[in-house]
Structure 1
């Protein structure tokens, strides 16, 4: 075991995957010589050469389009879109080509690619470096969507994503790269180097896609969250003294409905939290899924705590985020219902 940040765990996963399979190639903007804007690929080009880890032009549609072609020829590309906000030029390639490759070819071709994207706010990046577009991908049949919340999961989920025969959207919360947040501060509460979830095996291992993790057991209400919001929910529960069961979804598509249903049927109450805007956010899908399967077990309406329905507000970044105070009010609302 070693103590790693999420950045180091992601870098280690790349290294092990490239060492294990020569078909794995890594490319994107600044990922080669520079090692990525967040340093998640540092040292890979030096170790594996510029044929397997290389820089691409500033052309997101070109990056993803080239990766689709590589898949057809038997490679396993892991590409980085420098910020999730930059993925829009590549969206047609992701939806119309990568996601449909298996089905439109009647299984003759697969698309074993991973598209990594730093997501969410917390670095004062403004409107073009802070978006959370996960709902744009969970709507697309043929994709898998992953959002890790800690270094161990980041490594295991990334290796599982690389092994997967279909395209995986791998969203990395920027606020969690160096340590967890509680929603009150603009910096990590503690480094992963001093946090138990920073304990990561240096060996090759996978965390299965489609399996959620209960981060905090409880009986009063169920919290569904992912990424940074897992820690904000934990802080809110502790501050409010609420016996909340907090589920870290980890994979949004496919969704672990079994774990969600078991928890809501036990608690009878549910709060859904995400950083993205509320309207048509992934929380709406979670609410619908809980309503369909747990209606007769619910003691109160499901409550969502989300970002605002506005363009990302640079000047009010920390007000925009769901914080412990907003979440505590949601807890009170469902407990009074």
Structure 2
């Protein structure tokens, strides 16, 4: 069911995008409707598959009508100049992958032995460099081995104003997460190499990544899969062909919750900095005014307290500097006085000075 739903979800996803991107094009919407309708019918039929054992005898024949409607609908779209051909190509690619799976299933009627059609191998994606300036929107990483699923999710999230990176395997995803921060991870479950469960386990065990919110988006809908993902730390579970409104709501909620946790963590760190500064004053140690100034940039009560404490520390440091300057001047004067005394002693105790003093005394006595 997972393997069959993946191309069908792509058909439905791109059909919905065509309608959403051109809401005023009545002719395009008319031509998209057979594609969307046949995709929904195929999705419903896939949902009737048994979880084990042989296929029902009438199941494969029941697909013929919606498959024929899908083929006709794609041809109608391709012949319409107003249809974005790149999206039509994606729908055709998804249909071809579905037909490949069904052809293999027809040869082996045990659906539990069905394997996904091999995807073309490509070079591992290069890791993006860390941005030189802060991101203006939320940063999201999509992890899915299916290129059509990644493209659909990326387009929807970019339409919402988010910045999106996408990779096709769990190993690359973990490396990217180590290189730069993300606000949200959208994670598929069934993938080659590290699957979604293993990625969740790695994230849970990493103190630096355990707080990253993860939305699992998979064609698997069994409750045991959902429960396992939530137990491993996922914040939510969504189907592949998720409604755009639901996707937006879940993504927004997850990012808002992360930002709230980040604010709380930052607040506690700033409280610790202020407490450490107070302890330094108590112990007569010097306080880092620059650190207090950073905390004082907050706009809440903690920032006001840091600014007031910073002014007090600044005045204390100025008074201390003035006292040190005064002590240095006193020490200099003492040193100068001692030097003058030594110079006078050297003159008055010299033989020449003593001879002059004797002659002066003799003159006074005459």
TM superposition score normalised by structure 1: 0.32
Larger Rg: 2
- 1 or 2 for the larger relative contact order (CA 8 Å, sep ≥6)? 1
Select the structure that is richer in helix: 2
